[in-house]
Amino acid sequence: MKTTLLIWAGLLCLTPTAMAQTAPRLAATSAVGAETPYAADFAEAYRRYPVIPRGMLEAVAYTQTHIRHIDATEPASCTGMPQAAGVMGLFADGKGYFRENLKLVARLSDVSVEQIKTDPHSNILAYAAAYARLVNERNLSGADPARHLPILIELSELPLAKDAVSNFALDSHLYSVLSFLNKAENQQQYHFPSYNLDLRAIFGANFRVLSAGAAQVSDRSVEADGQTFDPGSSTYARVNSTNYGPAISDFTTCNYSSRNGVAVTHYAIHTVQGTYAGCISWFKNCSSNVSAHYVIRSSDGQVTQMVSEANKAWHIGNENPYTIGTEHEGYVNDASWYTTAMYNSSADLARDITVSGYGISGLRTFYGAATTGTFSTGACVKIKGHQHYPNQTHTDPGVNWNWERFYKLINNAPTVSTLTATSGSVYDSGGPSANYGDDVRQCQLISPSGATSIKLTFSAFDLESGYDHLFVYDGSNANAPLIGKYSGTTSPGTLTATSGKMFLELRSDCATTRPGFAATWTATMPTTTSCPTDSYEANETLSAGKFIGVNVNNSAYVCPAGDNDWYYFNSSSTNNNIKLTLTNLPFDYELELYNASGALLYSSTNPSTNSETIIYNGAPAATYYVRVYGYNGATSNTTAYTLRVSTQSVAWRQAPAGDGSAVAARLSPTAPTQPVVTITNPVEAGTKAWLTVSGYDGPAELVLRDSQGQPIGSATQAEIASEQPLGYSLPAGLRPGVYIVTLQLSKHVEYVKLLVR
């Protein structure tokens, strides 16, 4: 047994660490079907964000747009319904009804709203980035799409309401997405595994209504096949508790009373001075005479609801009638209890309260310095600590609670005005002559393209001292390094952002306004270097690609930065074996082959200045397109690359296993005396790996084995023709990793390593 294990270890020669280091730069060598729109963009999204279950992005896109880019030319609906945008069907303007999920995606992905609306690639990648961020925040597994329903709900545009019709609409959306994932034809076309989702179990009693051929909707109910849709059993209701979505309901039967008609106007933050479990237990002790509406756990941010928001919890003395209170596990003198998970969960809860009809604005969150004592902030501040209410002796959440961080998490989707000119003037929300208003959060980003630094000089400055503030950051948002926080009448003078971007944030309270500020900015721009004359320009898009002949060298420059060079050529039915080479590279350049429909067929992405090579044996006679570009915007105005398209009547030999390019060298005119086996690497589960044997003709038995040498599935019988590629189908549910393919060639056995991603 020890000998067998050593043999397999020697064949693999890849440690998990080595795989993690090399995988991001491996090439995608398997062909993508022309019938799959935006396949390259979806593939890139899954490579970047492996926590997203494969197929989920296509499922959402198909449900929303049938995987079609919706742009501004799309005719408006005769119903007046707002227009979706892009491949993922996101809403920028909800018309006061739909949630504006495009803005949410823009915030979570740090991609501009305009770019997401207009560019299909950005639309898909931004949605994927937002999805992955939410998955990571909730520590969800990427293996089970059914566990991702809260993510789909959060990223949907559909309203979140507790009535039957709204819940039915949202469940219908989720049902469509999961049904897409359950269809075998989709699994085959879009190359994702069978998840075997049990839709009856997921949707419970409402499955019959959701799967019915027709449903009857009134203003209060939904019916189908004689069954009424139960909003209390809907997916949204099961993901959400009575008052707050993610909370676990563990209501106490005592320690609360009626509000007696007093309206909720404030929200209080507490620290337990103990454990999560202990607090829950204590609140259910009817002798304790104390409670709060919610309790949050430190380790993962889990929320338990103890008292309905409609009732008065007993947490803050005389201030109970008009407050909602939340206890946070931990102790005020130990900052380690205030975890990122707790902050995020607590802010989510607070944000939910701000949109629950109480009139509590997130802008009224306390953001001053944390302190050890007690002091009253006054009625203007609506979301604050126990220590900030009048007539209190408790000092929680205390000196270790980060109020500025909490404010930003609650108010996490500000409207940002972006200024891209290299110079100009900037003012508060009142403009050059009027005062700014109450309850203002004005965010402005000065971001000229390519700027190396920004200098901002103030000519006027007058804010209500100690209450209204201007924050200036060196970067693109309010999480960038803080240059300064300014209030009163002392001018900040001249400020410099060395990042090339400057973010300004004005906050005002609920009373007393002032003239505000006026300032001018100038940007330092890099010295531009001209690009050499390139006879193929302009060829930045597939439709503008320039014709090149075969079996000749073509030279051009990737210049300026971000340049994309497109070409096209024709292959014949006799010389239908194609090889593309990209050589003489000054930096890391990449090579891609497309068909005339714009579908990516092959790519070669070797690191550094290594040459790129693509082989497509047996290509149909057709017009093909080639794209050359610099990795991470690499460019050169001094060295031209060389692109060559070669065709011949015999097949080219495929790349050896582990090579980062799509292909390798031309066949040797003399067959080797010992059979040589090569296979495309890496490949994806459910697709074909193209295997070539040199120096052997005849029958073969192929067996796929795991890293321990154990067979996976049954053996495959094949007829080998020397030098002719053979498609070897892989199981759809194969896990990513390193495998071994064994070939029994007559009386000789060959081993070849296969990397599945």
**Max mean pLDDT range (16-25, 184-193, 430-439, 554-563):** 430-439
| pLDDT given at position 474 | 97
Residues 356-367: what's their mean pLDDT? 93
Q: For residues 683 and 755, give the distance between their C-alpha atoms in angstroms, rounded to a whole number.
A: 6
Answer whether 229's CB lies under 8 Å from 163's CB: no
Q: Which two tokens stand for residue 162?
A: 């507790």
Q: For residues 741 and 730, give the distance between their C-alpha atoms in angstroms, rounded to a whole number.
A: 11
Quick one: which of 604, 599, 598, 576 has its CA closest to 29?
Answer: 604
| pLDDT given at position 524 | 93
Name the residue type at position 48.
R
Statement: residue 62 has pLDDT above 80: yes
| pLDDT given at position 249 | 61
Please enumerate in sequence order all residues whose Cβ is within 8 A of that of 48, keeping only pairs 6 or more positions apart, or say none.
125, 128, 129, 132
CA gyration radius, the chain = 31
Answer whether 296's CB lies under 8 Å from 265's CB: no
DSSP state of 1: -
| pLDDT given at position 675 | 79
Name the residue type at position 373.
G
Q: For residues 109 and 494, give the distance between their C-alpha atoms in angstroms, rounded to a whole number.
A: 31
- Rounded to the nearest integer, the mean pLDDT of the chain is 84
Statement: residue 9 has pLDDT above 60: no
Phi, psi of 452, deg, nearest 5: -95, -25
Provide the whole-model pTM. 0.47
What is the per-residue pLDDT across 673-726, written as a single tens digit (0 to 9) for each?
567 888 877 788 888 888 888 888 888 888 888 766 677 888 888 888 877 778
| pLDDT given at position 424 | 96
- Residue 538: asked if its preceding bond is cis (omega within 30°), the reply is yes
> What are the DSSP E strand ranges found in 511-588?
516-524, 546-547, 553-556, 564-570, 577-583
| pLDDT given at position 671 | 37
Q: Which two tokens stand for residue 606?
A: 């070797």
Q: Which residue has the tokens 């119903």?
A: 79
What is the per-residue pLDDT across 525-543, written as a single tens digit (0 to 9) for each?
877 668 888 889 999 999 9
pLDDT confidence band for 10 (50 / 70 / 90): very low
Phi-psi region of 196 (alpha: psi -120 to 50; beta: other; left: phi over 0): left
pLDDT confidence band for 22 (50 / 70 / 90): very low
| pLDDT given at position 747 | 61
Statement: residue 227 has pLDDT above 60: yes
Other beta carbons within 10 angstroms of residue 446's beta carbon come to 27
| pLDDT given at position 687 | 84
| pLDDT given at position 717 | 85
Residues 609-636: what's their mean pLDDT? 91
Q: Which two tokens stand for residue 17?
A: 């660490």
pLDDT confidence band for 655 (50 / 70 / 90): low
Statement: residue 475 has pLDDT above 90: yes
Answer whether 682's CB lies under 8 Å from 26's CB: yes
- Is the sign of the CA dihedral 632, 635, 641, 645 positive or negative? positive
| pLDDT given at position 641 | 95
Q: For residues 545 and 551, give the distance between their C-alpha atoms in angstroms, rounded to a whole number.
A: 18
pLDDT confidence band for 111 (50 / 70 / 90): very high
Q: How far is CA 193 from CA 36, 259, 608, in A?
A: 16, 53, 33
What 3-state class would DSSP assign to 354?
Answer: helix
